[in-house]
Amino acid sequence: MTTKESDEGRTERPANYEFYIMRHGIAVMRGATAFIDDTKRPLTPEGKQKMRNIASGLVRMGFDLDWIVSSPLVRAVETAEIVGEVLSLKPPLDFCDALRPGGSGEALIAFLAKRPKCRRVLVVGHEPDLGELAARLIGAGRNANMPFKKGGCCLIAFNEFPPKSPGRLVWWLTPRIMRKLA
């Protein structure tokens, strides 16, 4: 990576860590008779197709990963698997309980810090936790929220990981935009 000059004339250092946050795709409705257990709700056929298109759009943007970490809930796992399948280099996929609904951002950061050589990481999880995590990671405060649509994704860049200072929001894209990029 090279350094670049910002619009204000400052030289910005390249990020050493790229942290992608993605919400799972469209899943079977909560409370559907066949899926009373919320942890087992899968993506719908439409949700799977849209995720393939989203992943293809990300690849056209130069998206590449060292590691994918997912919530263990079925809809998040399926989302992570689809993203991994579309990438030319298949990154490892692991599961982290901190990405379950109500999970701890601090526990997630501790989990990710165990693999310091992975510098381009995608986490796949659930709302409202992801929106709150993204807001906190860019320094917006504990009560701020950046809600993600199903399949939405953002990139937050850090100079070091685990982060000691707020990251920089590079982009935050809706599913529709990513699908149009495909």
Task: List, for residues 129-167, the tens digit of each pLDDT value.
Answer: 999 999 999 999 777 889 999 999 999 999 999 999 999
Class of domain 18-181: alpha beta
Contact between 57 and 22 (Cβ < 8 Å): no
Exposed/middle/buried for residue 93 (C-beta within 10 Å: 0-12, 13-18, 19+): middle
Task: Find how far residue 101's CA is from the centre of its chain.
Answer: 14
Rounded CA-CA distance 65/145 in Å is 25
**Among positive and negative, which fits the CA dihedral 84, 78, 158, 147?**
positive
User: Which residues contact residue 106 at a Cβ distance below 8 angstroms, ignoring those fewer than 6 apart?
Assistant: none
pLDDT tens readout for residues 96-120: 999 999 999 999 999 999 999 999 9
- The model's pTM is 0.90
